[in-house]
Amino acid sequence: MKPVQIQFVAPRAWKFIWAITAVVLVALLGHTGWRLWQQHQVRLGLQAELAQLQQQLRERSTPKPAVVDPRHASEQAALRLLRRDWNRVFDAVESPELAQVRLVQMSVDAETGETRLEYELESFALTSMVTAALNGPGATTVWQLERVDAGAFRQVSNSGKARAVWASRQD
């Protein structure tokens, strides 16, 4: 018998198929890696923007201490007082119907605009007359009787007079 010589040669077609498969896999991995890198960059940008917005929100939510400028505050208070219509107060105080009573004190709170008038009265019956005179037909502000104090004043002076306080808010 003749010896048979068999040579096993790897088929070249498979080499070509494996080469193409390797190229496709490398391309797929490269494309996937590229997309992952882009998504990572987008995520980093969004996180940076979120941190910036949170910082702005914290800055806006924390109250800022008020800058106290006494000069500006006093200028504003003076302007408010100058803009106020004082004629209404003085018209009420200078009413001829109030000639029987004596104005003891007039005080004005510049912040709230509250005006207080303290009158000395001969009797308690004059309180209604003074209230009617202050709130007369031409009056634009409403004066309210706050208190009448007769006891403490009698002990000091023995005059039998009473003091009464009326208040009104001036706008």
**Tens-place pLDDT, residues 110-160:** 778 888 999 998 887 888 888 888 888 777 778 889 888 876 445 545 556
Looking at residue 161, its pLDDT comes to 81
- 69 versus 111: the higher-pLDDT residue is 69
CA angle 158, 145, 102 (to 5 degrees): 45
142 CB-near residues (< 8 Å, 6+ apart): 135, 168
pLDDT digit string, tens, across residues 98-117: 888 999 999 988 778 888 99
Tell me which H or E stretch contains 168: strand 162-169
Tokens for 51, please give them: 């941190």
What integer best gives the mean pLDDT of the chain?
85
Q: Is the pLDDT of residue 23 over 60?
A: yes
Spatial CA neighbour of 114 closest among 83, 74, 142, 156: 142
Tell me which H or E stretch contains 115: strand 114-121
- 75 versus 158: the higher-pLDDT residue is 75
pLDDT digit string, tens, across residues 80-102: 878 888 788 888 888 888 888 99
Min mean pLDDT across 13-22, 34-43, 59-68, 155-164 is at: 155-164
Looking at residue 154, its pLDDT comes to 52
Looking at residue 76, its pLDDT comes to 85
Topology of domain 85-169 in CATH is Gyrase A; domain 2 (3.30.1360)
Looking at residue 56, its pLDDT comes to 93
Identify the bridge partners of residue 147 per DSSP, sorted by sequence position: 165
pLDDT digit string, tens, across residues 8-19: 776 778 888 999
Sign of torsion over alpha carbons 8, 13, 19, 25:
negative
Looking at residue 70, its pLDDT comes to 87
Enter the DSSP assignment of 64. P
